[in-house]
């Protein structure tokens, strides 16, 4: 679970606080009659919130928490302070507290798209992907052109294994914001999960013109995905072929023993010839199921099984 949380966070919150900073600075109502040069402790709730936002941008998350809390003390109904506090908590890995802060912001302002989006990201970091989907959807309903919410929704869908929906969400984010690098990256990952490697490679090509670091990261995933698939596939085929060969060997042995006397002495379980037959048939079926493809390797297993079974039956006769 920790690995999933880091992956979700890494793909969303690298740009999260920048989106929040911009949104908060544009949305916080500032009292133009109050100057920043006031005595310490005389700042308004809005100014304290802006100071918290600036600390977020500088990576000073503990300090940001203090500013947001002071802002809330002065004005408890300021939704920007609550969701800003949630983002600061999230950057410190305190996701449950982040969720409560974002919920409080939504309680104050139900149509606050940024708070719904931030709530979805926090849910994602806790591995609660269905709730992340619901929160991201609400953000999109409120603000249709919210590209970040669309790609956040896509990541949540991907983590749930809904690759088709994930791909469509990331595409929508890119339609809104064509140069949105993180959406192209997320789309590439979704394509990989959906076994559409060529499409993932195309996203890598686009990413090279937008963000070289993300492009390199996606390329590494593409390369790793191919290697893992090759190793697993080869292992699967060879294991299946060995099982298949054993099954065929047993079957040949069983057939040869039909012409022997006494029959019972040549079986795996001397008193249960039918059980022996069932066992070898199961081995053949399992072998075919494991590698699931008709290639030269199972053919080799077939001939090996026939040879082994024949030799064993001949040695038993002697």
pLDDT at res. 15: 42
- CA distance linking residue 227 with residue 229, whole number of Å: 5
Residue at which a domain ends, from 155, 182, 210: 210
Domain count across the chain: 2
Residue 222 in any domain: the answer is no
Is the domain of 300 the same as that of 158? no
Examine the domain organization and report whether 199 and 237 are in the same domain: no
Whether residue 305 lies inside any domain: the answer is yes
Question: Which pLDDT does position 6 carry in this prediction?
Answer: 41
Cα distance between residue 129 and residue 159, in whole Å: 7
Please check whether residue 100 is in contact with residue 82, taking contact to mean a CB–CB distance below 8 angstroms.
no
Give me the residues of the chain with pLDDT under 70, please: 1-42, 225-318
Q: Torsion angle, CA of 84/86/87/93, rounded to 10 degrees?
A: 150
| Residue 219 falls inside a structural domain | no
Q: What is the pTM of this model?
A: 0.64
Q: Are residues 192 and 234 in the same domain?
A: no
Last residue within a domain, chosen from 148, 178, 210 = 210
**Angle, alpha carbons 52-54-56 (nearest 5°):** 70
Q: How far is CA 187 from the centre of its chain?
A: 12
Q: Are residues 268 and 176 in the same domain?
A: no
Mean pLDDT (the chain, rounded)? 75
Among residues 120, 65, 63, the alpha carbon closest in space to that of 89 is found at: 65
CATH number, domain containing residue 30: 1.25.40.10
Residues 155 and 255 in one domain: no
What pLDDT does 220 receive?
A: 87
- 36 and 182 fall within a common domain: yes
Range of the domain at 267: 230-317
Q: Residue 5: what pLDDT?
A: 41
The pLDDT, as a whole number, for residue 305 is 53
Both 246 and 201 in one domain: the answer is no
């Amino acid at each position: 679970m920790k690995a999933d949380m880091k992956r979700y966070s890494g793909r969303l919150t690298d740009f999260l606080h920048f989106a929040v900073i911009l949104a908060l600075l544009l949305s916080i109502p500032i009292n133009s009659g109050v100057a920043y040069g006031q005595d310490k402790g005389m700042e308004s709730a809005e100014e304290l919130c802006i100071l918290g936002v600036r600390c977020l941008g500088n990576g000073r998350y503990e300090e940001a928490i203090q500013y947001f809390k002071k802002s809330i003390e002065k004005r408890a109904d300021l939704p920007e302070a609550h969701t800003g506090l949630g983002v600061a908590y999230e950057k410190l890995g305190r996701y449950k507290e982040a969720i409560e802060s974002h919920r409080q912001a939504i309680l104050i302002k139900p149509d606050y798209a940024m708070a719904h989006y931030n709530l979805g990201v926090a849910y994602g970091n806790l591995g609660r992907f269905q709730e992340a989907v619901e929160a991201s959807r609400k953000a999109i309903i409120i603000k249709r052109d919210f590209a970040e919410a669309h790609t956040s929704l896509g990541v949540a869908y991907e983590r749930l294994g809904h690759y088709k929906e994930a791909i469509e969400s990331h595409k929508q984010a890119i339609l809104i914001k064509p140069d949105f690098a993180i959406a192209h990256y997320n789309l590439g990952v979704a394509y990989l999960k959906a076994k559409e490697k060529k499409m993932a490679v195309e996203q890598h090509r686009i990413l090279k013109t937008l963000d070289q670091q993300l492009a390199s990261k996606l390329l590494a995933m593409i390369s790793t995905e191919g290697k893992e698939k090759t190793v697993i596939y080869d292992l699967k085929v060879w294991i299946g072929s060995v099982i298949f060969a054993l099954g065929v060997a047993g079957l040949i042995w069983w057939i040869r023993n039909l012409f022997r006397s006494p029959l019972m002495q040549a079986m795996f379980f001397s008193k249960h010839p039918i059980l022996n037959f069932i066992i070898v048939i199961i081995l053949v079926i399992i072998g075919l199921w494991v590698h699931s493809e008709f290639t030269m390797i199972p053919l080799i297993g077939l001939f090996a099984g026939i040879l082994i079974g024949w030799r064993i039956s001949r040695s038993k006769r002697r």
